[in-house]
Amino acid sequence: MTAYTVAILVALALLALRGITTATGTVAGAIVIFGASLDVAYVRARKPERLRAHRVELDRIVRWQLLAIGLAGVALAVVLSATGYAPLEHVGRLIKALIIGLTAAIGTIYASALVDWYWILPKVSGVLGPAPCEAPGQERWAGVTNIWLFHRAVATFTTMGVLAGVPAFMAGTSHSGSLTVVWAFVSLTLTIAYNRLYDGVLTSFSHALNAAVEVGDTVRIREDLEDAELTDAYVVDMSVQGLKYVPLPPPPEPRFALKGQLLRWSAADKVRRVPSEHPPCSDPDHCQAVNWYCHCNPRAHGRIKEDEGTGPAPIH
């Protein structure tokens, strides 16, 4: 979240220096309102007995970051509008397009990160109730999976649109035939490359509408082409590229070094869900690290203090 905060502050500063102060204040205000509404809903729904010290600390940091974005955006809009200071007002078309595109992309990515932080992560880590590793299957996590994939696909699609849109804009406004061809080629190349990199954004939208596999599912996969037998695995994460899984049963000692192995959507369509009689984690105090986001894992939400173990440390 800190990296996203720095990026959005840079984008707002460039937008204000470009002379678009009204948009600067509007974007900052929209982000703060959106984040604050998610925060309020999260605070009302969270279970105090399931909170951990690291989550409380990092929630406080995210709130301060939201406040910094709001104050910085409004201050830049007011001061630069009053003084008329706009050193980037007369820069070239490419720089203007990049500034606007950067603001749109970073703003969408930051909003997506807020949805992850306040809506997705609390659900899958067990802060709002039983986590997927405690109560998997039976379509309980269909909605979470759909929203998880949808908001990440939107952020990816917007970024892809900016990457392709800037050279497309340059091609459309160029007065040189050769430059028009060059910019159009760059736009097309970036679109194809970015879409292939993320294994097809449209595929993610399709799974967001009707996910074949949900977070918390147990699936049967072949980890290696040379393996004679299939392996049961627990689905722990969702992304635009595919899903992430960890093999079952979990290791004797919890390990939090990895979030799981990636299975791309092209291969995920072929896996088979396996009915699970018993959840991987019997209760929240005995999470066996099968779920990377398990709220008993101090590493799951960011920093870890040396004196913190892997056991629960509830905040009452």
Over residues 192-207, the pLDDT tens digits come to 777 666 666 777 777 7
Give the pLDDT confidence of 110-124 residue by residue, as tens digits: 999 999 999 998 888
Run of H or E residues at 247: strand 242-247
Query: Could you tell me what percentage of the chain is helix, strand and coil, using 3-state DSSP and rounding each to the nearest 5?
Result: 55, 10, 35
Answer yes or no: are the C-beta atoms of 52 and 298 closer than 8 Å: yes
Give the pLDDT confidence of 24-82 residue by residue, as tens digits: 889 999 999 999 999 999 999 988 877 777 788 888 999 999 999 999 999 999 998 88
Residue 222, pLDDT > 50, answer yes
Q: What percent of the chain has pLDDT over 90?
A: 17
Give the pLDDT confidence of 279-290 residue by residue, as tens digits: 777 666 666 666
Give the pLDDT confidence of 236-293 residue by residue, as tens digits: 888 888 888 887 765 555 455 556 788 887 777 777 887 766 777 766 666 666 666 7
What DSSP character marks residue 291? Answer: S
